Amino acid sequence: MSTVSRALEARTRRMGKQTLRFRLTPAVVAAAAVVGPKEGQGPLGEYFDIIKQDDLLGEKSWERAESRMMAEACRVALRKAGAALGDVDYLIAGDLLNQITSSSFVARELKLPFLGLFGACSTLAEGMAVGAMMLDAGYARAVLVAVSSHHCTAERQYRYPTEFATQPPPTAQWTVTAAGAILMATKGDGPAVTLATVGRIVDAGIKDPLNLGAAMAPAAAATIRQHFEDTGRRPDDYDLIVTGDLANVGKEIAAELLSREGMELEDRLFDCGSSIYDPSQGVEAGASGCGCSAAVFTGYLMHGLLTGRYRRLLLTCTGALFSPTTYQQGETIPGIAHAIALETQDAPGQ
Amino acid sequence: MSTVSRALEARTRRMGKQTLRFRLTPAVVAAAAVVGPKEGQGPLGEYFDIIKQDDLLGEKSWERAESRMMAEACRVALRKAGAALGDVDYLIAGDLLNQITSSSFVARELKLPFLGLFGACSTLAEGMAVGAMMLDAGYARAVLVAVSSHHCTAERQYRYPTEFATQPPPTAQWTVTAAGAILMATKGDGPAVTLATVGRIVDAGIKDPLNLGAAMAPAAAATIRQHFEDTGRRPDDYDLIVTGDLANVGKEIAAELLSREGMELEDRLFDCGSSIYDPSQGVEAGASGCGCSAAVFTGYLMHGLLTGRYRRLLLTCTGALFSPTTYQQGETIPGIAHAIALETQDAPGQ
């Protein structure tokens, strides 16, 4: 490559300040969702690949159950694509547990070269961004991106022992028991990943780990706004602007923040955390967890992309980057969001 | 780009099964180490940029002190390069704390787009691999890679409250109090990052969190062997084969495993965990922690590269991917290692 073409290449992969542009448009070749019983009983139940009948999956700990869900999601995604583990170059994974042990145990089982991420509930989009870079630039031909969360592992780690049966406030969100896996490749059919906007942290000053929607909403709004600024696109270029797990409280805040900047998203704004459960399921403000956006994207939204209901989606996964140590020490909860543009092959401008 | 040149591009960035090849050879423009008092008193003290006089840095918690060390390391690296925060496109960071809160708080302070990683003590090499991909493929012009560990935050999180003053066994390693930051860019002088070998997990069946060297050594040996297989290079192509924090027990195991495969590294094998402290400092088998390889690389080894003492290094950072929950549940400790090739501009074959 000449110096000129190198410089040109460098220029065309950056858009604005925070956005990565994938010129070879890596495809989501297959995606799979494995969920717990409560998620299976929710309004999106029919879209998930596997619904478990109990939260333990027959294992002796919830942690083992969570790892097993993630490994199963990886295997189902491969099966749907007619691919084998040997076709995959890298596993990119993360979860909510301390030291992302669910992901590490899956990496051990699948024996794939492994990049571990932590982005709390933003990890799916973070992983898709890293995976798309690897594919687009030619470092890999196929990657698996996987994330998980489990209500019982997360609740006892982040808040109270589950046996306490504490009364949650109306702002609380129910951590989803689910794993999602995405097989992305440079060759193969499926929605293309065309852009990724990597988020900055926005800290809204929230100190309450039972009000994460409010902690993450300003970060979601900032990343969505930055995506449009960087790319020159407009909200109506997308069929849906998806947020990960703001739930009802956070979604309203994000909509209000975007509205103040002149973006009236209305029905175009779709939050996974407000959608995976029915209000009758006793989940307060809605859902949260890496598994929330993962299951809703790999199940429901992928179905919409594959059936032509959606042609362009902006998937904005939102994360609250706190630990029990930090909130007990009085620190506020930093929020982050990363956004991924997904487009079907017949989307306008493709 | 034509289809042919796209295919060529894709081919030339992959080497063998697990190795990424950086054709535009992103440079380590500057690196900085901020360490605690014990590390400053060790044999490599003179190579560190800042030596703190107390572990708390005047903060009210060790966690705050750790974040502050990492933020300082970032600022010192920028200052050494004559660069400003505005010149940096992305922060790529990780640490040992639950939910990598040290890194997230630094990302909040520096206001940079942020990719959070978790690779335990392998995080420096993981971050350099992701950063080099972003630079080499043109997604970014400059990235900061930062990692940290703190003896007091890690001990109480992974093992016992520090006030217990438990007697460690001879296999134990002392978690380093240090942060390292690396400014990498497509333009600028400094050692080039030419290759990265992303590791697979190797689980040696170790269950003892006070014997991490043994848990990580087989992963280090596997990644080093894979690096040579993927690239066709030989050990004597490198002045040093560096391991992150195997310490004395793990280093001996790794040397033995590599020797069985016909690789006699002898004095060419250098372990950061065996080098940062003097045996008189009461550290049992040696040192561990993200900050161990980070401080030794950004301080001592970078000095060797900049002064011409070394022309080619293979930096192999090693991680133990466990949590207190997993070992208390009887799980074994998975090990991982990622390797980065660093070369000065006058290295043979450049």
Query: pLDDT tens-digit profile of A127-149?
Result: 999 999 999 999 999 999 999 99
Q: Are residues B158 and B10 in the same domain?
A: yes
Question: Which residue in B11, B118, B201 is closest to A100 by CB distance?
Answer: B118
Residue A299 is classified by DSSP as I
Contacts of A85 in chain B (CB under 8 A): none
Residue A350 has pLDDT above 50, yes or no: no
Residue A7 has pLDDT above 80, yes or no: no
The token pair at B128 is: 């350099």
- What are the residues whose beta carbons fall under 8 Å from the beta carbon of B184, sequence distance 6 or more? B26, B27, B28, B29, B128, B131, B132, B135, B142, B143, B144, B145, B193
Beta bridge partners of B96: none
Q: Are residues B90 and B238 in the same domain?
A: no
Contacts of B337 in chain A (CB under 8 A): none
Q: Are residues B156 and B255 in the same domain?
A: no
Give the integer Cα–Cα distance in Å for A88 and A184: 9
Q: DSSP alpha helices (H): ranges in chain B?
A: 3-13, 37-40, 62-81, 101-110, 123-136, 151-158, 212-231, 247-260, 290-295, 302-306, 324-328
Dihedral of CA atoms B6, A339, B104, A321 in degrees, nearest 10, equals: -140
pLDDT, tens only, B136-150: 999 999 999 999 999
| Radius of gyration of chain A measured on its C-alpha atoms | 19
Single out the residue in A147, A164, A181 at which a domain terminates. Answer: A164
pLDDT, tens only, A168-217: 999 999 999 999 999 999 988 999 999 999 999 999 999 999 999 999 99
The answer to whether residue B289 is domain-embedded is yes
| pLDDT recorded at residue B3 | 52
More confident residue, B226 or B159: B226
Q: Are residues A216 and A281 in the same domain?
A: yes
pLDDT, tens only, B202-213: 999 999 999 999
Q: Are residues A258 and A208 in the same domain?
A: yes
B 176-215 near A (Cβ less than 8 A): 186, 198-201, 203
pLDDT, tens only, B108-129: 999 999 999 999 999 999 999 9
The answer to whether residue B183 is domain-embedded is no
Total residue count of chain B as it appears in this document:
350
Q: Does residue B211 sit in helix, strand or coil?
A: coil
Q: How far is A181 from chain B (nearest CA, A)?
A: 18
Single out the residue in B124, B147, B164 at which a domain terminates. Answer: B164
Residue B302 has pLDDT above 70, yes or no: yes
For helices A62-81 and A101-110, the axis angle rounded to 10 degrees is 50
Contacts of A10 in chain B (CB under 8 A): 138, 141, 186
Parallel/antiparallel/unpaired status of strands B19-21 and B192-197:
antiparallel
The answer to whether residue A245 is domain-embedded is yes
The answer to whether residue B348 is domain-embedded is no
Give the integer Cα–Cα distance in Å for B283 and A314: 51
**Is residue B285 a contact partner of residue B249, using CB atoms and an 8 Å limit?**
yes
The phi and psi torsions of B240 (rounded to 5 degrees) equal: -140, 140
Give the integer Cα–Cα distance in Å for B165 and A176: 40
Q: Are residues B138 and B213 in the same domain?
A: no
Residue B165 has pLDDT above 90, yes or no: no
Neighbours of A349 (CB within 10 A): 8
Chain mean pLDDT for chain B: 95
The answer to whether residue A134 is domain-embedded is yes
Residue A345: pLDDT band by 50, 70, 90 thresholds?
confident
Question: Which residue in A98, A111, A134 is closest to B325 by CB distance?
Answer: A98
Q: How far is B267 from chain A (nearest CA, A)?
A: 29
| pLDDT recorded at residue B188 | 84
| pLDDT recorded at residue A165 | 82
Q: Are residues B144 and B270 in the same domain?
A: no
Residue B7 has pLDDT above 60, yes or no: no
Contacts of A137 in chain B (CB under 8 A): 9, 13, 133, 136-139
- What are the residues whose beta carbons fall under 8 Å from the beta carbon of B161, sequence distance 6 or more? none
Residue B350 has pLDDT above 70, yes or no: no
- What are the residues whose beta carbons fall under 8 Å from the beta carbon of A82, sequence distance 6 or more? none
Q: Does residue A48 sit in helix, strand or coil?
A: coil
Q: Are residues B215 and B330 in the same domain?
A: yes
Read off the amino acid at residue A102.
S
The token pair at A270 is: 């779709």
**How many domains does chain B divide into?**
2
CA distances from B65 to A248, A324, A344, B124 (A): 36, 17, 48, 20
Q: How far is A280 from chain B (nearest CA, A)?
A: 32
Q: How far is B337 from chain A (nearest CA, A)?
A: 10
Q: Are residues A198 and A56 in the same domain?
A: no
pLDDT, tens only, A241-283: 999 999 999 999 999 999 999 999 999 999 999 999 999 999 9
Residue B97: pLDDT band by 50, 70, 90 thresholds?
very high
Residue A106 has pLDDT above 80, yes or no: yes
Q: Which domain holds residue B202?
A: 190-343
| pLDDT recorded at residue B2 | 47
| pLDDT recorded at residue A1 | 40
Question: In this predicted complex, what is the ipTM?
Answer: 0.96
Give the integer Cα–Cα distance in Å for B114 and B111: 8
- A326 close to B (CB below 8 A): yes
State pTM to two decimals. 0.96
Q: Are residues A160 and A194 in the same domain?
A: no
Q: DSSP alpha helices (H): ranges in B247-350?
A: 247-260, 290-295, 302-306, 324-328
pLDDT, tens only, A56-104: 999 999 999 999 999 999 999 999 999 999 999 999 999 999 999 999 9
- What are the residues whose beta carbons fall under 8 Å from the beta carbon of A133, sequence distance 6 or more? A20, A22, A139, A196, B133, B134, B137, B139
Q: Domain containing B207 — which CATH number?
A: 3.40.47.40
Residue B11: pLDDT band by 50, 70, 90 thresholds?
low
- As a whole-number percent, the residues of chain A with pLDDT over 70 amount to 96
The answer to whether residue A185 is domain-embedded is no
Q: Does residue A210 sit in helix, strand or coil?
A: coil
CB environment A254-276: b (16+ within 10 A), e (fewer): bbebbeeeebebeeebbbbbbbb
Contacts of A64 in chain B (CB under 8 A): 329
Q: Are residues A14 and A95 in the same domain?
A: yes
Sign, CA dihedral B334-B291-B116-A205, equals: positive
The answer to whether residue B23 is domain-embedded is yes
Q: Are residues A36 and A149 in the same domain?
A: yes
The answer to whether residue B10 is domain-embedded is yes
